[in-house]
Amino acid sequence: MFDRPTRQGGYFALAAYCIWGVAPIYFKLVGHVQPLEIIAHRVTWSAILLMAVLALSGKLGELRLPLKSLGWLLLSAMLLACNWLIFVFAVLNDQIIDTSLGYFINPLVSVFLGIFFLGERLRPLQWLALSIAFLGVMIQLVVLGHLPLISLALAFSFGFYGLIRKNLNLPAVSGLALETLIILPFALGYLVWQQAQGALAFSNLSLETDLLLVLGGVVTSLPLLFFAGAVTRLSLTTVGIFQYLAPSLTLLLAVFYFEEPFNRVQFATFFCVWVSIVIFTTESLGYHRKHYRDHARASNDAS
């Protein structure tokens, strides 16, 4: 049986990735609002909620950041805002399947970026996994004549975001709080400008719309709080396996609830990516298990 912290971590991870997986439902509900206004409200209410969480937990001190890191934090905030905007645009334009593919590809893109920017080395089976994923993407280019641009934009924007956040080494909650605070002046400026133009949805359409836009802060912050609870109780390997739950739920939603067309070419691309993920995950688990056994054996021999 798992101990209590591990069980709690599993519940937190399950909650986080389930919320992320069904998030398109929320954005469809606010689909009558302009994407930029949705993002502006998401930033505004997330900043307020996260600041409240940090204040109540006595962790406002985590917001202190060396001045030299401010430029990197600004870049990570811009990448996150772009990622959010691409996602909302895709959902509102009935391209939810492409968002699912993007987040399936994302871990592999992160590995790819690690090779070029961090000098990380891959083992042969990991190279095979990346090659199969690349083949899946190229199938769309050859057969359909275009790349899955939404998927690639989501994967690479979040991949670069993760790369920068890795170097900043910030806690998940306080890091997002800082990023939303950086974007907040731009978000508020946009909302004020929209109001002056008479084009603002908030407070001008319905109470339901207003409440849904405020809920954007919860939809953004709550899964992150669950995720933060999960990573303190589970190994990164376990959390890494959970991460495929979100795009799986999103794909099921897109096909069976929103009834987006899912053709053979898309299936071929997804199949290649799924095979790639299975190979990469299985190889990584086997390698770390062997490394752990070798380390334990060496420790026993030394004693």
Nearest to 23 by CA among 85, 68, 83, 88: 88
Is 193 a residue whose pLDDT tops 70? yes
* Distance in angstroms (rounded) separating the CA atoms of residues 207 and 152: 36
Q: Which range is least confidently modeled, 83-92, 127-136, 256-265?
A: 127-136
pLDDT value of residue 288: 66
With bands split at pLDDT 50, 70 and 90, how would you rate the model's confidence at 118?
A: confident
Give the tens place of pLDDT for each residue, 94-111: 999 999 999 989 888 888
pLDDT value of residue 25: 96
Is 51 a residue whose pLDDT tops 90? yes
With bands split at pLDDT 50, 70 and 90, how would you rate the model's confidence at 236?
A: low
pLDDT value of residue 7: 80
Highest mean pLDDT among 4-8, 13-17, 25-29: 25-29
Q: Identify the residue with better confidence: 62 or 89.
A: 89
pLDDT value of residue 90: 96
Task: Output the average pLDDT for the chain.
Answer: 87
pLDDT value of residue 47: 95
Is 302 a residue whose pLDDT tops 90? no
Is 6 a residue whose pLDDT tops 80? no
pLDDT value of residue 297: 64
With bands split at pLDDT 50, 70 and 90, how would you rate the model's confidence at 253?
A: very high
The pTM of the full predicted model, rounded to 2 decimals, is: 0.88
With bands split at pLDDT 50, 70 and 90, how would you rate the model's confidence at 295?
A: low
Segments making up each domain of the chain, as ranges: 4-302
pLDDT value of residue 291: 63
pLDDT value of residue 3: 66
Residue with the two structure tokens 């919860």: 218
DSSP the chain: ---HHHHHHHHHHHHHHHHHHHHHHHHHHTTTS-HHHHHHHHHHHHHHHHHHHHHHTT-GGGG---GGGHHHHHHHHHHHHHHHHHHHHHHHTT-HHHHHHHHHHHHHHHHHHHHHHH-----HHHHHHHHHHHHHHHHHHHHHSS--HHHHHHHHHHHHHHHHHHHHT--HHHHHHHHHHHHHHHHHHHHHHHHHTT---TTTS-HHHHHHHHHHHHHHHHHHHHHHHHHTTS-HHHHHHHTTHHHHHHHHIIIIIS-----HHHHHHHHHHHHHHHHHHHHHHHHHHHHHHHHHHHHHHH-
Give the tens place of pLDDT for each residue, 135-175: 988 998 888 788 889 999 999 998 898 888 888 878 888 88
* Distance in angstroms (rounded) separating the CA atoms of residues 185 and 87: 22
